[in-house]
Amino acid sequence: MAIRHQLIHQPPSVLWSVLEQPEQYGKWVVGTHDSRLLAGQWPEVGSAIEYTLRLGPKDVRGRTTVRRLERPRALELEVDSGFLGTARIAFDIRPWGEETLLLIDEHPLQGLGGALHNVALEAVLQIRHRAMLGRLAAVVDTEADIRG
């Protein structure tokens, strides 16, 4: 189970403003080229976004569905990346003074990712999460600048 954390130098409300925009996911999720609303009212439970994942010369379409939403503390997603399988990604959002402590927990549910899940894959997920959370923090900072 890959768990990582990031201190975001903005309040939780600014983080939520980014998480609530389906088109923003393509900017911070590592490997994702673009994202767009597919169904429902994001991020309500059952709503979904579609994304394109670039794996070398191959593009793979995937779908992310909201499975749990408890504003302002939690968002849980089920990511379906086709032949790569499905995974659960949980965001635990904690106020930390005037900032936000974000914990992310990801683990495979089924498919190739689950079958190949091992210590080496965990290490790769840790590296991916470090990059992803850094990107997310930067997008949140940009959102704060836009909000003024």
Which of 5, 4, 29, 27 shows the shortest CA–CA distance to 126?
4
Q: What is the pLDDT of residue 54?
A: 79
Kindly calculate the radius of gyration of the chain based on its CA atoms and give it in whole angstroms: 15
Q: Domain range for residue 90?
A: 2-147
Provide the pLDDT for residue 58: 84
CA separation for the pair 6, 91 (Å, rounded): 11
| DSSP type of residue 23 | G
Query: DSSP for 41-84?
Result: STTSTT-EEEEEEEETTEEEEEEEEEEEEETTTEEEEEEE-GGG
pLDDT of residue 117: 62
Say if CB 94 and CB 118 are below 8 A apart. no
Residue partners of 20: CB distance under 8 A and separation at least 6: 42, 43
- The Cα–Cα gap between 75 and 56 comes to 30
Instruction: Return all residues near 91 (Cβ < 8 A) that are at least 6 apart.
Output: 19, 74, 75, 76, 77, 102, 103, 104
Query: What confidence tens digit (pLDDT) does each residue in 13-62 have?
Result: 999 999 999 999 989 988 788 899 999 999 999 999 999 887 788 888 89
> pTM higher than 0.85 for the full model?
yes
Closest CA to 32 of 53, 49, 50: 53
Predicted confidence at residue 59, as pLDDT, reads 85
45-48-34 Cα angle (round to 5): 140
> What's the number of domains the chain is made of?
1
- Chain segment 99-142, per-residue pLDDT in tens: 999 999 988 888 766 556 656 666 666 777 788 899 999 999 99
Paired with 8 in beta bridges are 100
CATH number of the domain within which 69 lies: 3.30.530.20
Which pLDDT score is estimated for 143? 93
